[in-house]
């Protein structure tokens, strides 16, 4: 079964085509700068020997419809294509950012689902509209394929009320759905399943803390396989320090910025989401550059790394308290998988909790799942590469095979 996974942003479409039965990725890439003067389409196909070849097309991509059509043309290209006909694609798996409280799992898309995603636009005004555009465009280009929505928020819907309710007037939750939702759910779910496989035990028996450190960053506390808390909130701004997002700040900070610096809500939104985090503290949001600067003696970079890792460490302690016992700590995504310095700093001094890192194992390069605690350690500290697209493809296959009717919670 061939499944196309797409992640539609306001000016981009990321895609991967999977042959899920044979556990193979056939092609993938991204159409960027859609609607801008000149767009870029980067297409990578995976050759039968496992190597890949990449081609880049530059030029106007007027809208998402044209973008997806161009992607399809590359997939079915008579010379370099990976499939003969678009009809071979049985389903499209869409990444949808905000499912609100309506979606606790993956669903087949129908009119009711689209209406419920539209209802959540106020919660994710930047993400849900382009996700809906992706669904609409894919529906017109693939009229015979099933369309499936996989929500970033769904994995966190098991979080109990004591952890998701903000201590503000209850009506804000009851009428306006203001609460903690959490994001990166697909990644937290994927790496926790991978961890269970590594442990050789059912996920339902395990307590885990998963730490996703990409450009965005979040942690999840997983008790007996179910998420019970997460660091992001109603929006992805809360929690850990990120590339350009502040993570947790005093909730009164926006009033200070408005009253003393004359900033508008839009300015404040921009500062906290785009100009803060690593970038705000030391001028770059790219962790590789921050570490390089620190190695060259840049003090601001050094303190930025300390703030970044201190926040992770603080949440490890908090989630240890929430879970009461811990089997595994999982680092994932660009930084979690590739920055031993951050892993070391975040876990420093936690041996009383059974969390220890073996310096040699931590610094050893590798690609797959790696255990970086010393042998015999109480808590396994794992590095697990995330693969949100693969998880979306598998979820898509699972729901279309089981023909689960959308369950929408109201
Ligand atoms: P996204 O959220 O965009 O998917 P990624 O998971 O790709 O992000 O993570 C991007 C981050 O990972 C960047 O800050 C990048 O600098 C960092 N990163 C990638 N490789 C390394 C590396 N070898 N060492 C340190 N940081 C790395």
The yes-or-no answer to whether 2-151 and 200-388 have a common fold is yes
DSSP 177-213: --S---S-HHHHHHHHHHHHHHHTS-GGG--EEEEEE
For the domain 200-388, what is the CATH superfamily, name and number?
ATPase, nucleotide binding domain (3.30.420.40)
Q: Which long-range contacts (CB under 8 A, 24 or more apart) does 203-209 make?
A: 206/327, 206/328, 207/323, 207/324, 207/325, 207/326, 207/327, 207/328, 208/326, 208/327, 208/328, 208/329, 208/330, 209/316, 209/319, 209/320, 209/323, 209/326, 209/328, 209/329, 209/330
Contact 68, 9 (CB under 8 A): no
Which of 95, 216, 288 has most ligand 1 atoms within 8 Å of CB, for mutation? 288
Beta strand 328-332 with 380-383 is parallel
Q: Which two tokens stand for residue 270?
A: 């921009």
How many whole angstroms separate alpha carbon 19 and alpha carbon 15?
Answer: 14
pTM of the model: 0.94
43: β partners: 29, 55
CA of 285 to the centre of ligand 1 (A): 10
| Residues labelled as active-site residues | 152
CA of 277 to the centre of ligand 1 (A): 14
Nearest CA to ligand 1 atom 7: 334
CA of 214 to the centre of ligand 1 (A): 5
Where exactly are the structural domains of the chain? 2-151, 200-388
Phi, psi of 357 (to 5 degrees): -120, 135
Contact 65, 72 (CB under 8 A): no
* Ligand 1 surroundings by CB, under 6 angstroms: 214-216, 243, 286-288, 291, 333-335, 338-339
Phi, psi of 341 (to 5 degrees): -60, -45
Q: Which fold has domain 2-151?
A: Nucleotidyltransferase; domain 5 (3.30.420)
pLDDT (tens, 9 = 90+) of the chain, 410 residues, equals 999 999 999 999 999 999 999 889 999 999 999 999 999 999 999 988 889 999 999 999 999 999 999 999 999 999 889 999 999 999 999 999 999 999 999 999 999 999 999 999 998 888 899 999 999 999 999 999 999 999 999 999 999 999 999 999 999 999 999 999 999 999 999 999 999 999 999 999 999 999 999 999 999 999 999 999 999 999 999 999 999 999 999 999 999 999 999 999 999 999 999 999 999 999 999 999 999 999 999 999 999 999 999 999 999 999 999 999 999 999 999 999 999 999 999 999 999 999 999 999 999 988 899 999 999 999 999 999 999 999 999 999 999 998 766 667 76
Q: Among residues 109, 25, 38, 32, which one has the least CA distance to residue 75?
A: 25
* H-helix or E-strand spanning residue 129: helix 128-141
Q: Write down the residue that tokens 């998701």 correspond to.
A: 164
CA of 338 to the centre of ligand 1 (A): 7
């Amino acid at each position: 079964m061939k499944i196309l996974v797409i992640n539609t942003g306001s000016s981009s479409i990321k895609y991967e085509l999977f042959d899920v039965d044979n556990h193979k990725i056939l092609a993938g890439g991204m159409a960027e700068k859609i609607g801008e003067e000149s767009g870029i389409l980067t297409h990578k196909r995976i050759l039968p020997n496992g190597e890949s070849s990449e081609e880049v097309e530059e030029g106007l991509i007027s809208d998402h419809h044209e973008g997806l059509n161009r992607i399809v043309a590359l997939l079915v290209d008579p010379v370099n294509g990976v499939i003969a006909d678009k009809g071979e694609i049985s389903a499209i798996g869409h990444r949808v950012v905000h499912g609100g409280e309506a979606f606790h799992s993956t669903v087949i898309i129908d009119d009711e689902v689209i209406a419920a995603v539209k209802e959540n636009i106020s919660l994710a005004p930047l993400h849900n509209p382009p996700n809906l555009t992706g669904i609409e465009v894919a529906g017109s280009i693939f009229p015979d394929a099933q369309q499936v929505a996989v929500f970033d928020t769904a994995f966190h819907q098991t979080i109990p009320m004591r952890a998701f309710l903000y201590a503000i007037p209850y009506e804000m939750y009851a009428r306006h759905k203001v609460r903690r939702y959490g994001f990166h759910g697909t990644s937290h779910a994927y790496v926790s399943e991978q961890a269970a496989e590594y442990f050789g035990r059912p996920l339902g028996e395990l307590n885990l803390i998963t730490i996703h450190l990409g450009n965005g960053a979040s942690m999840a506390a997983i008790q007996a396989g179910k998420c019970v808390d997460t660091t992001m909130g109603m929006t992805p701004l809360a929690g850990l320090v990120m590339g350009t997002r502040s993570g947790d700040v005093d909730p009164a900070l926006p009033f200070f910025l408005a009253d003393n610096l004359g900033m508008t809500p839009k300015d404040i939104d921009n500062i906290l989401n785009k100009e803060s985090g690593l970038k705000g503290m030391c001028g770059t949001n790219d962790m590789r550059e921050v570490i390089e600067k620190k190695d060259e003696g840049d003090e601001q970079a050094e303190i930025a790394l300390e703030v970044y890792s201190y926040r992770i460490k603080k949440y490890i302690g908090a989630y240890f308290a929430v879970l009461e016992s811990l089997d595994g700590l999982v680092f994932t995504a660009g930084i979690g998988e590739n920055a031993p310095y951050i892993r070391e700093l975040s876990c420093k001094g936690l041996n009383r909790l059974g969390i220890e890192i073996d310096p040699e194992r931590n610094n050893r390069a590798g690609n797959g799942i790696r255990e970086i605690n010393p042998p015999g350690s109480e808590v396994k500290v794992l590095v697990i590469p995330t693969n949100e697209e693969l998880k979306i493809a598998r979820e898509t296959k699972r729901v279309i095979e089981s023909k689960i009717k959308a369950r929408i919670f109201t």
